[in-house]
Each structure stands twice: as structure tokens, then as C-alpha cells.
Amino acid sequence: MNFPGLPLLLQSIVSGILMGGVYSLVAIGLTLIFGVMQIINFAHGSLMMLGMFTTYWLYVLMGVDPYLSLLFSIPICFVLGLLIERFLITPVLDAPAHNQLLLTLGLSLFIENLALFLWSPNFRTLDIPYLQTAVTVGTVMISFPKLVAFFFALLLTAFLYYFLKNTDLGKAIRAASMEREGALTVGINLRWVYCLAFGIGTACVGAAGTLSAPFFYVNPSVGGIFVITAYVVVVFGGMGNFIGALVGGLIIGVAESVGAAFFPGQLKKFIIYFIFILILLFKPEGIFGRRSE
Amino acid sequence: MLSIKDLDVHYDDVQVLHGVTMEVRATEIVTIVGANGAGKTTLLKTITSIHRSSKGQIWFEGERIDHLSPHHIVDRGLIRIPEGRKIFPTMSVLENLELGSYLPKAKALRSESMGKVFDLFPRLRERTRQLAGTLSGGEQQMLAIGRGLMTLPRLLMLDEPSLGIAPLLVREIFRTIREVNHQGTTLLLVEQNVFNALDMAHRGYVLENGKIVLQGEAHDLLGNEYIKESYLGI
């Protein structure tokens, strides 16, 4: 174990919070789908990878700025989510949980292998000079693309929160997640709400993909790196809990980053899995409780 | 208004309803009474398309509705207030009522309907900002009825509105239900509280093990020897 000095600790905390914003966005997509449909989407990571590749190819082939490609990756992933729900998830909605789990896992393998076939397993990066810049505040160095990712992740989260809290459609989604039968009795079309929730969840993770592409590598299996952490965040914040996923993402981001400062490289995820196990053992409903939103 | 013909319903291999035939006419209060597990809730869920029948037909205002989706049934004004209330616990009273008027027709009259609901249940007006899950059982039932009324029901089906509620509030809720009927809404009331239900209704059906074993004017049923013995304990 290393004992980092104060500057390193500060640096870790700041980096962790910035990274946490992206984790939050990924986890919000996951927790929204779980909250509404009670389905754990194992294809979430592959869908994030598709968001990253959308941004990558738009830049490489057409010179589209990576942040501008949010305007493409969000609707593309949203529609993709709608289609996946409609044609793959709807048929297994009433099936036992393990069937649903195997289906989304199968979908994930399919998407990743298709990506391997089409785009090879090579690690690719966006080679744009302005993405290499950083801002320095005191001793803390803030990478520009991470700062932008954090800003957009929070912006999208705030936008989604407003939608869920204040629009009729958003309220219908929340209603369906807290009380299915009640939702049916007021005339909410549950099949449409499920479709929509899956679409929004996928759009979230697609946006997170786009926002990560400027500071991470892009390859077919990259989604798993973010999404495994996002599962920890979802459990930590309470499955189906929006605010839990938001705050949890930031906390887990900091835990990971500070963990990396204390422990050698191979053990950098040690702290978050340790937290994961503690939560499962002692507070399985999550820090913020299940589905309070 | 509502007419059910020879309805069979199965849960997997178990048959729950056997050839149920019944009718509700406009402006009536009709009650279905019977013991726990007789199939009363299943019948209401089948009418609202949450369960599918395996045989028989359901007609509402001259149209066959047993193939429609649940939200289309609601849109036609056939509204069920489920047993156990099923309100949205972490939403405010106001939001619950707003969601009652989720469909376009009901939404157009949202504020007007809300005024009527508050006139019927002044307690809800005092608690618009409160989270629904923190209301008492009786208040939750009022909210569930209020939410149902927001959908502009033509036929309102109430499943066990008195279940688990303090007696004083039961009286208030029954009084309100009667008031709703006076204002022109047809009611189908499912109850284990046989005396109260028959006392209020115009006609009644007795459901036992998924079959209708008795039917008639509510007043006659109250005087019926079999009902007195089996359900009223007199």
C-alpha cells in the first residue's frame, strides 16, 4: 500500500468525481430499465460500445466533432433501445428472470462479436489535439475531455430528472416503476412505457459512450469496463433508484480513483468491489433504498 | 351497459371462473359478493383485460371489448379501483390525481375533475403535497377512488373498498360512493362486506367458487335465507 501525499489525494478525488459523472450516467440508464421493467440489462456495456464507435466513426469518416456526435449517438441508441425492447425483450417479459438474463447476455455477446468482426479488436483512440489539453487549478490537473464529459453527463442527468419529475410521460414511467397495477388502472400503456424506458436507458449509456470516447480507447469489449462499475453503482444506490445512481456514481468514482492512489495498479478496483461486497452483505437494498424515485 | 356472457377464466391449468353471465345497466349500483377466493377480483381483472378469458364474451356499451388492451378499456371509461388501492406511494397526492387524468380526454378536463374530487374528499385537498404512501389506509382509499374518478369513468368498478379501513372511514367512503352514483356514474362494487354492499346496491350477484349461485334485487338478496345463513350470520 502506498501513502499518497495531499496533492495526489486531491488529484485523485477530482479525477474520481469527473469519472463518477460518467459512471452515474451509465448507472442511471441501467437503474431506469431495472426500476421500470425489473430486468437487468447485460447488454448495457455493448450498447455503450456502440455509442463510442458511433462517435469514433463519425469523426474518422466525416470529421464530426466528438461532442457534436452526441446529437447522433443519443437518437441512434434511443431507437436501437426501442427496437431491442419491442422485438427481443417484450416476448420474454413474463418469462422467468433467468431467461431474461440469458437473453440480454446473448444479445451482448452478439453485439460484441459483430463489432469484433466489423471493426477488429484493435484499440483505437480519437487523435484530436484539443482533447489532449488540461486545465491546472493549484496542484490539480483537470483533463479537458473528462471535464466536458462530467459537465454533459450532469446536464443530461438533470434533463432526464426534469423529464421524469415534471412531464406526464415521465410521471407515467415513474408510476409504472412503483406500481404496475395502479399504472394500468389509470390507462398507462405499459408496453409503450417499457419500450420508452429501455430506449431512454440505452440513450443514456450511448451518450456516456460518446462522452468517454475522447479520453478512453475504443474497442469492442470496452463497454464492460464501465458497466461492471455501473452495476456496483446501481446496487450501491439501490436498484431502480435514480438519485442513488447519481450520487452512487460520484462516490464510486472517487472510491476507485482514491483506491488507485493507495494500491498498486492491479488492485485499483479493489476498493469498489470491497464496497460492493459490504453493501450486498449488510445493506442489500442499497444506501438510498430501493426505487424511491 | 356492461354485459358478460358465459365467461371462463383459467390461471394456467386451474379454472377460476365458470360460465359467468351478468349485466350492469346504466346508473345502477350492482354488487358482486362472495367469500375470499371466489373469483371476484379475477372477474374485474378480466373485464379490464389484465387477464384474458378462455371462453365467453364481454360487451360494453354495445361493443365487444374482450380483445382490447387495458389502456383502451380505461379510455372507454371502464375503470377499476384495485383491491389494496395501488396508489403511487412516493408521489404526492396531487401527482396521483394528475396521473388519473393521464389519457387525453381526461386530461382536457383535469382541473374540473380535480375540483369535483376535492369536493367529494375535502381531506385530499388538505393533503395535496403529502406523499401518498404516508396517508392513512382510509385516506389512501379515498385517493384511489379520487384517482379513478379523474379518469372520467362511465362505469366505476370498486374492488373491496372497505378492506383494512377504520369503520368510521368505511362509512364515509360508502357515503361518497353513493354520492358518485347519484352524480350519474354506474358502479360495480365487489365486496366481502356483504351487508353494506347489498344495503347500498340495486342488484347483486353471489359468486361462489367461480360460479354465480344467486342473483337478484339487492333488497331480496338481503332477505334471502341462504345469504342470511352463509354470509350475514343471522
CATH number of the domain residue A101 falls in = 1.10.3470
Which ipTM value was assigned to this complex?
A: 0.89
Map grid coordinates 442513488 to a residue.
A244
Contact between chains at A182 and B100 (C-beta distance less than 8 A): no
pLDDT for residue A292: 45
Instruction: Report how far apart, in Å, the C-alpha atoms of A46 and of each of A14, A42, A205, A206, A224 are.
Output: 28, 8, 9, 10, 7
Cβ distance B91 to A174 under 8 Å? yes
Cβ distance A30 to A230 under 8 Å? yes
Q: Which residues from B are below 8 Å from A179, CB to CB?
A: 86-89
Does A292 fall in a domain?
A: no
Bridge partners of B189, per DSSP, are B31, B158
Q: Which residues of B touch A (CB under 8 A)?
A: 48, 50, 69-71, 74-75, 79-82, 85-91, 95, 98-100, 102-103, 106-107, 147-148, 150-151
Please give, rounded to a whole number of angstroms, the shortest distance from the CA of B172 to a CA of chain A: 23
Residues of chain A under the 70 pLDDT cut: 1-3, 290-293
In this predicted model, what pLDDT tens digit does every residue of B130-182 receive, in sequence order? 999 999 888 999 999 999 999 999 999 999 988 888 888 888 888 999 999 99
Residue B73 pLDDT > 60, yes or no? yes
Cβ distance B56 to B4 under 8 Å? yes
Residue B21 pLDDT > 90, yes or no? yes
pLDDT for residue A1: 59
Contact between chains at A181 and B82 (C-beta distance less than 8 A): yes
**How would you list the strands of the sheet with B203-208, edge to edge?**
B78-81, B155-159, B186-191, B29-33, B203-208, B211-217
As a whole number of angstroms, the distance between CA A122 and CA B74 comes to 54
As a whole number of angstroms, the distance between CA A69 and CA A72 comes to 5
Other C-beta atoms closer than 10 Å to the C-beta of B75 total 18
Q: State which H helix or E strand residue A134 sits in.
A: strand A134-137
Instruction: Report how far apart, in Å, the C-alpha atoms of A18 and of each of A146, A154, B63 are.
Output: 6, 10, 59
Q: Which residues from A are below 8 Å from B143, CB to CB?
A: none
pLDDT for residue A262: 82
Contact between chains at B98 and A178 (C-beta distance less than 8 A): no
In this predicted model, what pLDDT tens digit does every residue of A24-66 receive, in sequence order? 999 999 999 999 999 999 999 999 999 999 999 999 999 999 9
Mutate to test the interface with A, among B72, B85, B99 (most CBs of A within 10 A): B99
Closest CA to B212 of B11, B38, B25, B29: B38
Q: State which H helix or E strand residue A140 sits in.
A: strand A140-143
Please give, rounded to a whole number of angstroms, the shortest distance from the CA of A220 to a CA of chain B: 40
Mutate to test the interface with B, among A36, A185, A189 (most CBs of B within 10 A): A185
pLDDT for residue A293: 42
As a whole number of angstroms, the distance between CA B25 and CA B28 comes to 6
Count of CB contacts below 8 A, A vs B? 74
Q: Please tell me the total count of domains within chain A.
A: 1
pLDDT mean over B205-219 = 90
Q: Which residues from A are below 8 Å from B74, CB to CB?
A: 184-187
CATH label, B2-232, candidates 3.30.413.10, 3.40.50.300, 3.40.50.2300, 3.40.50.150? 3.40.50.300
Q: Which residues from A are below 8 Å from B100, CB to CB?
A: 186
As a whole number of angstroms, the distance between CA B51 and CA B73 comes to 13
Q: Is A2 on the interface with B (CB under 8 A)?
A: no
Instruction: Report how far apart, in Å, the C-alpha atoms of A160 and of each of A48, A170, B55, B71 are.
Output: 18, 9, 45, 25
Kindly report the CA angle at B220 between B214 and B224, in degrees rounded to 5? 65
**Nearest residue of B to residue A291 by CA position?**
B90
pLDDT for residue A290: 58
**Nearest residue of B to residue A241 by CA position?**
B90
As a whole number of angstroms, the distance between CA A279 and CA A286 comes to 7
Strands B78-81 and B155-159: parallel
Question: What is the domain partition of chain B in residue ranges?
Answer: 2-232
Cβ distance B43 to B32 under 8 Å? yes
Bridge partners of B22, per DSSP, are B4
Q: Which residues from A are below 8 Å from B88, CB to CB?
A: 174-175, 178-179, 182
Q: Is A179 on the interface with B (CB under 8 A)?
A: yes
Contact between chains at B86 and A179 (C-beta distance less than 8 A): yes
- Per-residue three-class SS string for chain B: CEEEEEEEEEECCEEEEEEEEEEECCCCEEEEECCCCCCHHHHHHHHCCCCCCCEEEEEECCEECCCCCHHHHHHCCEEEECCCCCCCCCCEHHHHHHHHCCCHHHHHCHHHHHHHHHHHCHHHHHCCCCEHHHCCHHHHHHHHHHHHHHCCCCEEEEECCCCCCCHHHHHHHHHHHHHHHHCCCEEEEEECCHHHHHHHCCEEEEEECCEEEEEEEHHHHHHCHHHHHHHHCC
Contact between chains at A184 and B88 (C-beta distance less than 8 A): no
Q: Which residues from B are below 8 Å from A293, CB to CB?
A: 90
Contact between chains at B90 and A182 (C-beta distance less than 8 A): no
Contact between chains at A184 and B147 (C-beta distance less than 8 A): no
As a whole number of angstroms, the distance between CA B93 and CA A27 comes to 29
Residue ranges making up the domain that contains A30: 6-282
As a whole number of angstroms, the distance between CA A273 and CA A237 comes to 14
In this predicted model, what pLDDT tens digit does every residue of B25-53 receive, in sequence order? 999 999 999 888 888 899 999 999 999 88
pLDDT-based confidence at residue B202 (cuts at 50, 70, 90): very high
pLDDT for residue A208: 97
Closest CA to B192 of B180, B181, B176, B208: B208
pLDDT for residue A261: 84
As a whole number of angstroms, the distance between CA B50 and CA A110 comes to 34
Kindly report the CA angle at A247 between A241 and A253, in degrees rounded to 5? 125
Query: If DSSP codes are grouped into helix, strand and coil, which group holds residue A136?
Result: strand
Strands B203-208 and B211-217: antiparallel
As a whole number of angstroms, the distance between CA A88 and CA A80 comes to 11
Please give, rounded to a whole number of angstroms, the shortest distance from the CA of B226 to a CA of chain A: 35
Q: Which residues from B are below 8 Å from A186, CB to CB?
A: 74, 99-100, 102-103, 147, 150-151
Contact between chains at A174 and B88 (C-beta distance less than 8 A): yes
Contact between chains at B98 and A171 (C-beta distance less than 8 A): yes
Does A184 fall in a domain?
A: yes
> Does the CA dihedral A274-A275-A279-A285 come out positive or negative?
negative
The alpha-carbon radius of gyration of chain A (Å, integer) is: 19
Q: Is A184 on the interface with B (CB under 8 A)?
A: yes
As a whole number of angstroms, the distance between CA A72 and CA A49 comes to 14
